[in-house]
Amino acid sequence: MKRFMLVQHSYSEFLGMVEKQLESRNIGFQYQRPFLGVDLPSTATQHDALWLLGGAYPITDEEACPWVEQELRLLTNFKKMNRPVVGIGFGALVMILQAGGEVTDEPYFNAYWTTCHKTEAGKDDLLANAVDGKKLLVMYNGDATLPEGMEPIVVDDNGHWLAVRTDDLSYAMLFRPEIKPGMIEDMLMEDNRPLPDNIGEILAEARERWPVNQQISADICLALVTALDLMTERHKMPVFNLNVVK
């Protein structure tokens, strides 16, 4: 069975629509929750892939997100061991920072529906083709400038990057294929969670687009599984030193 590590940054985030798609492929998950004060592990040995989830704050907010250095170290170790990595929202910005990009805390909220457009760099990419022309929710805090030489494979209606491959085994995405209406409702109920002023409109459209978005999410999962070869088991089982008592 494949085992993915997921880094969760707030109470109301999880893999949502994506989780069902991966579970049907015999993929299991281990959630890491640094926002609860638990240190992140430093090794990738016992996991086949890493997913960095959506977050609720800019990654530059050290008071709200004191674990970012640990997350960068974990990401680096997964890459050193040639394990696939997918970053969504906050997780995508962590990946861009690790790759040499610049991050900022403005604009504090980015939350909107947009049509995805594949770029010339993404013309042959499976994910870019899966979302091209599709309307998706974008939600993240702060922003990141891509490092020199890194080209986006998907952009929004205004030309801002939405997806990029930081290397052959990694995707960073600002659109949110995992979010379903119930997750947005959970965000609204989460204590002290900062939310954009248009969250009501975001939720209303998520409800309206729910049937369509389920299929788009399935298409995105298929593209990620194929492009990153996520069905391959890469983890190593732990080795126990057994002392035989005579």
pLDDT of 237 reads 56
Q: Residue 153 domain-assigned?
A: yes
**Helix 210-227 with 199-208: angle, nearest 10 deg:** 90
Q: Which two tokens stand for residue 128?
A: 């870019």
Sorted by sequence, the CB contacts under 8 Å of residue 173 that are 6+ apart come out as 86, 87, 88, 89, 92, 127, 154, 162, 163
Q: Residue 33 domain-assigned?
A: yes
Q: Residue 222 domain-assigned?
A: yes
pLDDT tens figures, 109-140:
999 999 999 999 999 999 999 999 999 999 99
pLDDT of 6 reads 96
We report the CATH number of the domain holding residue 8 as 3.40.50.880
Beta carbons within 10 angstroms of residue 108's beta carbon: 13
pLDDT tens figures, 48-92:
999 999 999 999 999 999 999 999 999 999 999 999 999 999 999
Using DSSP, state whether 38 is helix, strand or coil.
Answer: coil
For the CA atoms of the chain, what is the radius of gyration? 18
Q: Residue 235 domain-assigned?
A: no
Mean pLDDT along residues 145-169:
98
Edge to edge, the sheet with strand 85-88 lists: 27-32, 2-7, 49-52, 85-88, 170-173, 161-167, 154-155, 117-118
Q: Residue 173 domain-assigned?
A: yes
Cα separation, 151 vs 142, whole angstroms: 20
Q: Residue 237 domain-assigned?
A: no
Q: Residue 111 domain-assigned?
A: yes
Give the structural domain span for 87: 2-227
Q: Residue 242 domain-assigned?
A: no
Number of domains in the chain: 1
- Please tell me the pTM assigned to this model: 0.92
